[in-house]
Structures are given as structure tokens and as C-alpha cells.
Amino acid sequence: MTEAELYSVYYGVYMPAGLHSPRSLNYFSEFSFRPDDILIATYPKSGTTWMQEIVPLIVSGGDPTSVETLPNWNRTPWLEENQVYTLKLEQRPSPRTFSTHFQYGMMPKSFFEVKPRAIYVMRNPKDVFTSSYHYHGMAAFAVNPGPQSEFLQKFLDGKVMFGSWFDHVKSWLGAEEKGHIMYITYEELITDLKDCVARIAQFLEKPLDPEVIEKIADRCLFVNMKKNNMSNYSKVSCEVFDLKKSEFLRKGIAGDWKNQLTVAESEYFDAVYRDKMKDVKYKFGWD
């Protein structure tokens, strides 16, 4: 199926129409944040599910009940997705945890007024591309990626779900008020998960004993998260996610792009990256 059949356009970017109705988008735009809400913001395939495991465990002081009993889309729901208005978020006790795949400029008015804490996770876009390529091949609501070179061009042009990686990252890095936003990369999580858990806990003002930090980091290891049916998407119908084509928790490594992109594709990617990111000062660690 084509983009015209599967996607709608919101703020100029494609989004899977099956998951985002006019009603849910309206709910999002009118959403009222509380000051102690926590928002996980990501471009898809950057480590959303990982953070949806880490943050609730920090908030609960290491108690695994929520990650063992609630699927990630209910535990830390996307504020823009269809099911959102069925979840009675207004009745949830604080601190509530949410997710979004939207750019900074698409946040509801209340986000800018209330300034809840937000954690923005970024990942090497070549690995985002690689993960997306497999994801687009297995998710029924996504346009089939087709030949890799075509999908690469679409990705670099932002003609994929949730638009351009470049626009997304630059929008969040360009936030006028950064005091309530923590920026972290997938690669930092890979390199030292324990340290990242400690830093996130500090950002959330949730002091934790070293043993608790260690336990949380251990639970959030790829191998362990893969076994958690509340986080590995095994509960989603195989008509929506064909996990036989590609698992959602697929490889969980940094640098898999080296197995995916040809030398020419990688060089082309680098050239586009250099041009689009030339004014960005942030040190990601992969560039």
C-alpha cells in the first residue's frame, strides 16, 4: 500500500493514519500536563521502548510491578495515539509517564506553560534508518520499504512516518527552554547503562541506592527486556506486527548500519548529514 493509503499528514509530516485519528490528535493538542509529568520524546527507532522500561522503574524506586503487568503502550502511553482517550489519563496518580514521537514544535500549548520534565533520546541516524527499514517491513500500518536505496532516499527526505530525522532532532535541540529537558543518546545507554540510569534518576529527582540502580540497569538489558512480554510487543496481533519478519527488539546494538548500508549509501548519507546538521553544535558522539 502507498503513503496516500496508509498515512495522513499532520504539521506537514506523515503519520500512520491507522494509529492516529483526528480525535486522538485533537486530544494531544489539548492535553493538560501536570508539572510532575514525565515525557519521553523520540524519533521512532531511537530507544523509545528502552526508555519506557527505564523511566517507570526509576519512578517506582525499582519496583517491577508496572513493567511486569502493563504493556509499554499503556505504562507510558503515546499522547498522540488512538487508544489515548480510553486510558483515563486524567485519573492517573502523579507522576504520570508518557511518550511522544512528535517534534518539539508540535507539543501542546500546556507543555510550554507547565514545562514538565522531558527526556529526549537520540540515536545515530544510520542505525535509526537500519532499524526503521526492518520495522517498515514488519508493521502493517507502515508503507513497505521497497528497495533499500528508495527507502534511504525517502528517509533522508523525511518522507517516512514522523517526518525527517534531521528536523526532529533539530527541533528538540533547539528548544527555547532546555532546563526541563534531558538529552541522552542510545549510544550512551549502550556504553554505560548503569551510569545513564543514575543520571536519569538524578534528573527526575528520584534518589536511588546503588543496588537499586544496578537492578534497574540489569532489567533493562536487551536480553532481559526481550524476555518481557509487556515490552517485546509479542502481545500485538501478528496481523499488525509480523515478528517473524523482524522482531521489534531486533538486534539492540550500535553500528548495525555497517551491515546494512553499502559504502556508496553510507557516503551519501554522510554528505546529507553534514549539510543538514552543519549548524548543530551538540556533540552526539557518533559524528
Q: Which residues are catalytic?
A: 101
Q: Rule CB under 6 A: say whether 222 interacts with ligand A3P.
A: yes
Q: What is the C-alpha to C-alpha distance for residues 46 and 42, in angstroms, rounded to an integer?
A: 6
Residue labelled with grid coordinates 529537558: 181
Q: Which stretch binds ligand A3P (CB under 6 A): 15-23, 47-55, 163-171, 274-282?
A: 47-55
Say how many residues touch ligand A3P, by CB under 6 A: 19
Is the CB of 194 or the CB of 251 nearer to ligand A3P? 251
- Please identify, using beta-carbon distances, which residue of 34 and 62 lies nearer to ligand A3P: 62
Stretch that binds ligand A3P, among 80-88, 147-155, 174-182, 247-255 (CB under 6 A): 247-255
Q: Maximum Cα–Cα distance for the chain, whole Å?
A: 52
Q: From the list 44, 71, 108, 125, which residue makes contact with ligand A3P (rule: CB under 6 A)? A: 44
Using alpha carbons, select from 111, 87, 134, 84 the residue that is nearest to residue 241: 134
CB of 50 to ligand A3P, least distance (A): 4
Binder among 28, 50, 78, 155 for ligand A3P (CB under 6 A): 50
Smallest distance from ligand A3P to CB 132, Å: 8
At closest approach, how far in Å is the CB of 13 from ligand A3P?
16
Using CB under 6 A as the criterion, what x/- string covers residues 91-130 for binding ligand A3P?
Answer: ------------------------------------x---
Applying CB under 6 A, among 46, 66, 100, 228 the residue interacting with ligand A3P is 46
Cβ closer to ligand A3P: 24 or 76?
A: 76
x/- map, 146-185, ligand A3P, by CB under 6 A = ----------------------------------------
Cell (9 digits) for 67 = 513493567
**Smaller CB separation from ligand A3P, 134 or 154:** 134
- Interface residues with ligand A3P (CB under 6 A)? 42, 44-50, 127, 131, 134, 220, 222, 225, 249-252, 256
